[in-house]
Structure 1
Amino acid sequence: MNLPDRFHDVDQLEDAMSQPSAALAQALQRAPGDILVLGVGGKMGPTLARMAKRADPGRRVIGVARFSQPGLRQELQREGIDCLEADLLSREALADLPDAPNVVFMAGRKFGSTGSEWLTWAMNAHVPALVAERFARSRIVAFSTACVYPFVDTRGPGAPESLPPTAPSGEYANSCVARERLFQHFSHRHGTPGRLLRLSYAIDMRYGVLHDVAQKVLRRQPIDLAMGHANVIWQGEANDWALRTLAHCDTPTSPLNLSGPRIAICEVAMGLGERLGLEPILQGEEAPTAWLVDCSEAFRLFGPPQVGIERMLDWTADWVARGGASLGKPTHYEARDGKY
């Protein structure tokens, strides 16, 4: 993986996050046909779609979204991605989409869930049911979240895929359990192959746990240690592994934890503070439990992560110190009540 020591701008960052591995090109040979990315307009969608196209330039990659972000549709089209505007809550709009052997489902709702819970459930449970019916004959790799698990002991290996998804609290986490159950139902009913990617914190310089902590260090804001641990993975690797999962679909669909090494928020804050020349303001004590996942199965399939935490800390500190762009969407990693 050819990655720079620092990212000079957003274009270079997005280019790096959409750089495919040789292993991805080989994996996609076992999952032939068009790739339909539903929810391509989200945080990870644009770089994942670009990576798919770069891994196999002759393959049709179709991105579907409402394209509310100005210029995104045009950017993706310039890179050879076919873009279709659609409201995934509409059966009619879904019916009009082309058939595709491979579907990557990235649609969902987290931020703003509190206060409009009805829309969160519609996006996270109703839309998956509509999609699973419409693309019953496709492979469906659907993004989920580690939030479906209960909190686990921070001294252990993290939640394995075999642990039943019993979300601890909050409308968002419980709606994500519903999303998985709907995909499972239709996979059992129609024999649809797939995987449910329980992603934990993909790291983009503009977004993510490291970005949040770095911003607090820089702004001299207190860092709550109650949710003291998390798993993180470089977004470029998360994209790569998600696409490679198309070659590892099960019938019926099954979960796969997707992330990298666990981090301690205290250690991350201290590491970023050292790089930024600032003493982090730490408050509270680490709880004995957290949302942590055991990613040994992903490591078996794809190998260990190639981008380690020290490199991500170097990148993050450099980015925020220079006033690099931010998506302005805190992860709320510190929330233990499930409210977003």
Structure 2
Amino acid sequence: MTNIRVAPKLRPERDATVTATSVLPARFETVEDLEDFMTRPDEALIADLARVDGDILILGVAGKMGPTLARMAKRAAPEKRVIGVARFSEPDLVARLQSWGIETIKADLMDAEALAALPKCKNVIFMAGMKFGASGNQALTWAMNTHVPAMVAETFKDSRIVAFSTGNVYPLVDVFQGGALESQPAEPRGEYAMSCLGRERMFEHFSRKHGTPGRIFRLNYAIDCRYGVLYDLASRIKAGTVIDLSLMGHVNVIWQGDANAQALRCLAHTTEVTSPINCSGPETLSLRWLVTELAARLGVEPKLVGAEPSTAWLTNTAQANTLFGYPSVPLGAMLDWVADWVARGEVAYNKPTKFEARTGAF
């Protein structure tokens, strides 16, 4: 295991060039522009992290959201150590994180000795897990999504733990219901969602056992110009692919910067025992309407078939909206940005969300 330390890049003060503003860009010319905007903290996040003592350890930092979450945390709290842990299969990511003042540790979280050797930071964001490929490797899925959380919950019993989860633990709900509340009994479909509920239960169990404060962060779906539900739809529209509305007719979405900010702010809003909180946009969105809007921006006639089902995976975010306010980036801006990005053929992760998989098979 390699532990690489870098001196934090402290800023003498936080000014308007660092914090988020109410002025939204018309487009993002480059990945650097996109990530700079996405990682700007607002004053509410800065204030919440100032209330939280200790440094921040991010487990599973190498995923789609981890790098921008880590950078946002460092920009919001430059006086804190922000440490990212992952296996780091992408060779350039370590250097990128370090350039932002984030320390990195290469470690396999399934290795008990490596896990025990990690710094015992007061604040832990747990982002590790397995989704895609889960249907072909159920044993590894359960190990990553349930066994590893149990190990982490024991190892960091004296920390605050915000653990990422998913709205897939809920049942499909009526699209006129307003989405599932946190009080909705879990009813996972498929082994991926079952293993994610197992993750939640492990953090809950050890939170009860040790008095560990925390939050279970049930997210769906984060939007980045390089991936997400809107990217999936826009890229299919541009390619002339038929979109079947009978698979899934409604979704919730939230800008990834807003999702990361809410996850970090949860460190200041933990509960003992840990408890779930939904994260997404406040609207129940018609897929037909989203396709129509994106197609108009792309100048393409969409190909739609099928009738929308009466149920979908939807969450009610009233609790998060009460704590954090409404997301800062509106839906219209996300549609503009993603359509422009796709139209120009900019870089993408090529990782479909599979949001339409009603059976839960990922």
TM norm. shorter chain > 0.5? yes
SS at match of 2:134: coil
- The alpha carbon displacement at 1:97 in A equals 0.3
Kept after mapping to 2: 8 A contact 1:238/1:258: yes
SS at match of 2:28: coil
- The alpha carbon displacement at 1:302 in A equals 0.4
Separation in 2 of the partners of 1:67 and 1:124?
A: 18
Q: Which of 242, 251, 255 is the aligned partner of 1:222?
A: 242
SS at match of 2:124: strand
State the match for 1:91 in structure 2.
112
State the match for 1:231 in structure 2.
252
Kept after mapping to 1: 8 A contact 2:165/2:200: yes
SS at match of 2:136: coil
**1:155-200, Cα deviation, whole Å (9 max, x unpaired):** 1111000011111x21111111101011100000000000000001
State the match for 1:269 in structure 2.
291
State the match for 2:9 in structure 1.
none
Separation in 2 of the partners of 1:70 and 1:285?
A: 44
TM-score between both structures, scaled by the size of structure 2? 0.93
User: Residue type of the partner of 2:115?
Assistant: L
Structure 2: gaps spanning 5 or more residues: 1-19
**1:57-84, Cα deviation, whole Å (9 max, x unpaired):** 1110000000111210011011110100
Separation in 2 of the partners of 1:185 and 1:304?
A: 31
User: Residue type of the partner of 2:267?
Assistant: L
State the match for 1:56 in structure 2.
77
Separation in 1 of the partners of 2:286 and 2:334?
A: 14
Separation in 2 of the partners of 1:204 and 1:99?
A: 31
Q: Which of 46, 63, 76 is the aligned partner of 1:42?
A: 63
Q: Which of 296, 308, 312 is the aligned partner of 1:290?
A: 312
Separation in 2 of the partners of 1:152 and 1:231?
A: 13
Q: Which of 221, 228, 233 is the aligned partner of 1:208?
A: 228
Separation in 1 of the partners of 2:329 and 2:98?
A: 29
State the match for 1:23 in structure 2.
44
State the match for 2:350 in structure 1.
328
TM-score between both structures, scaled by the size of structure 1? 0.99
User: Residue type of the partner of 2:201?
Assistant: R
- The alpha carbon displacement at 1:262 in A equals 2.3
SS at match of 2:51: coil
Kept after mapping to 2: 8 A contact 1:28/1:247: yes
- The alpha carbon displacement at 1:264 in A equals 1.1
Separation in 2 of the partners of 1:278 and 1:114?
A: 34
User: Residue type of the partner of 2:200?
Assistant: E
Identity %: 58
User: Residue type of the partner of 2:193?
Assistant: A
SS at match of 1:114: helix
**1:31-64, Cα deviation, whole Å (9 max, x unpaired):** 1111000000000000000000000111100000
State the match for 1:251 in structure 2.
272
State the match for 1:159 in structure 2.
180
SS at match of 1:327: coil
- The alpha carbon displacement at 1:207 in A equals 0.5
| Count of residues paired in the alignment | 339
State the match for 2:7 in structure 1.
none
Separation in 2 of the partners of 1:16 and 1:83?
A: 23
- Kindly report structure 1 stretches of 4+ aligned residues shifted beyond 4 Å: none
SS at match of 2:216: strand
Separation in 2 of the partners of 1:267 and 1:308?
A: 16
Separation in 1 of the partners of 2:66 and 2:284?
A: 24
**1:211-270, Cα deviation, whole Å (9 max, x unpaired):** 000011000001121211111000000011110010000000000001112211110000
Q: Which of 270, 282, 307 is the aligned partner of 2:329?
A: 307
Kept after mapping to 1: 8 A contact 2:175/2:284: no
- The alpha carbon displacement at 1:85 in A equals 0.5
